Amino acid sequence: MSDVKVIAVAGKGGVGKTSLAAVMVKLLAENFPDKKILAIDADPAVGLSTALGIEVQTTIDDIRKEVVSTAEDGDTKSALELLGEARYRIFDALVEQDGFSFIAVGRPEAAGCYCKINTYLKEVIGILSNNFDYVVIDGEAGIEQINRRVMEKVTHLLLVTDSSKKGTQVIQTINQVAKELVMYEKVGAIANRLPSKEIVELLDTGDIPILTGIPSDGALAEFDLKGENVFYLPDDAPIVLGAKEALKKIGILS
């Protein structure tokens, strides 16, 4: 891979990582208008598209299914040809927005098993990354995608927690697994949805540096509720200020 920056946002469910990932896309688009930016919604809950105001037509999984069914229909194409076709078709699933591109992974085919789609996702991240300067991945909750090495090409790992013990334990677990399986350059924690900024001092994130603490924000909760585009959040919104601080500390923004 060239010097593309791949930023993965991970953590337990319900800590606001999707909103943070969306705000990071907004900040990158604003700060680097001449760069190519890609947002990947790798969470089967598919929230990033909503947060970025995007209507998803085709997902990576739709393409995978079509290619698989072509093969199952007795089409004599070789596996290699099919993979080549799938790679080509991935670009059909890209949604071009003002300042960035977007792609969604979609839902897996069988309840509880993300194996096939995760293997495919790993390929996709590799193929697409080479065409962009910055990639932001909104990962699924927990450690599954790290465990399956989907995220092995990540350069910056941002782990999101709230003020709960469970939240901080999950990011420490993700970090432990990532140390062995991910080739990341930098890691940092974002403490989100805090009752007050002072709580940051009390959080135990192990050896993960806390980049920023973001207080709970009623305006953002309302945005979430209405499914509104984070690009319309004001610059002084706590989540925008917090995401900016985190990206500066981890060396993405100057």
pLDDT value of residue 150: 73
Burial readout 180-213 (b: 16 or more C-beta within 10 A, e: otherwise): ebbebebbbbbbbbbeeeeebeebebeebebbbb
SS3 152: coil
**Helix H or strand E segment including 133:** none
pLDDT of residue 212: 97
Per-residue pLDDT, 115: 60
CB of 91 within 8 A of CB of 50? no
Q: What is the pLDDT of residue 117?
A: 64
pLDDT score for 162:
96
Indicate the residue type of 187. Answer: V
* CA–CA gap between residue 84 and residue 81 (Å, rounded): 5
Give, for all 254 residues of the chain, the pLDDT tens digit.
468 999 999 999 999 999 999 999 999 999 999 999 999 998 877 789 999 999 999 888 888 777 777 666 666 666 567 667 777 788 888 999 999 999 998 875 555 555 666 677 777 778 888 899 999 999 988 888 887 767 778 999 999 999 999 999 999 999 999 999 888 999 999 999 999 989 999 999 999 999 999 999 988 888 888 888 998 999 999 999 999 999 999 999 99
What pTM does this model have?
A: 0.90
In angstroms, the CA 153 to CA 136 distance is: 12
Secondary element (H or E) of residue 82: helix 79-90
Walk me through the domains of the chain, giving residue ranges and CATH numbers: 5-249 (3.40.50.300)
